[in-house]
Amino acid sequence: MNTTITRYYFRKENKLKSRKIIHQVFAEGKSFTVFPLKVMWLPSNNQHCLQTGISVSSKHFKRAVDRNRIKRLIREVYRLQKFELENHLHKENQQLSVFLIYISREMPEYKTLYAVCSKVITKLIKAANEKYQ
């Protein structure tokens, strides 16, 4: 019996931390919304194949505990599903910077975020294809 377990990671090199690139994503990038996430993306990234940042507004969630919980949930559902997008980018030799912004005023449920994240990744694949062609 030969079973291989696929491991999913969200490592340091996958995180969008550069102020310069984040500013560039907001200034020059494209966006779309799949409620409750707004997705900003830019098809160029010199650091890594795919880098992602996550944000939750302190205007809607005053307590840091709530913001951190939402970010943790988003990171988890994204981590489990981003392999499809990464594989596509590797195959097409493309790079992408993505920023996910939670825009709802209510605490999300894991199931809801999981479904939304799969839609986001599908849209990002389509958007990357259109941008590079």
Q: Band the pLDDT of 2: cuts 50, 70, 90.
A: low
Q: Report pTM.
A: 0.90
pLDDT at 83: 92
Residue 103: domain span: 12-127
For residue range 67-117, what is the model confidence (pLDDT) as tens digits? 999 999 999 999 999 999 999 998 988 889 999 999 999 999 999 999 999
Quickly tell me which residue has 């599903």 as its tokens: 81
Q: Rounded to whole angstroms, how far apart are CA atoms 30 and 98?
A: 10
Residue 107 to residues 60, 71, 76, 85, 115: CA-CA distances in angstroms?
Answer: 10, 11, 15, 26, 15
Note whether residue 120 is domain-resident.
yes
* Phi, psi for 67 (deg, rounded to 5): -60, -45
Give me the chain's average pLDDT, please. Answer: 90
Note whether residue 1 is domain-resident.
no
Number of domains in the chain: 1
Could you write out the DSSP letters of every residue in 33-74?
A: EETTEEEEEES--SS-SEEEEEEE-TTT--SHHHHHHHHHHH
pLDDT at 128: 84
Q: Band the pLDDT of 48: cuts 50, 70, 90.
A: confident
Residue 48 to residues 15, 42, 64, 87: CA-CA distances in angstroms?
Answer: 9, 13, 29, 13
Task: Report CA dihedral (112, 114, 119, 124) to the nearest 10 degrees.
Answer: 130
Note whether residue 4 is domain-resident.
no
Give the CATH number of the domain where residue 68 resides: 3.30.230.10
Q: Band the pLDDT of 10: cuts 50, 70, 90.
A: confident
Note whether residue 133 is domain-resident.
no
Note whether residue 45 is domain-resident.
yes
pLDDT at 133: 55
Note whether residue 107 is domain-resident.
yes
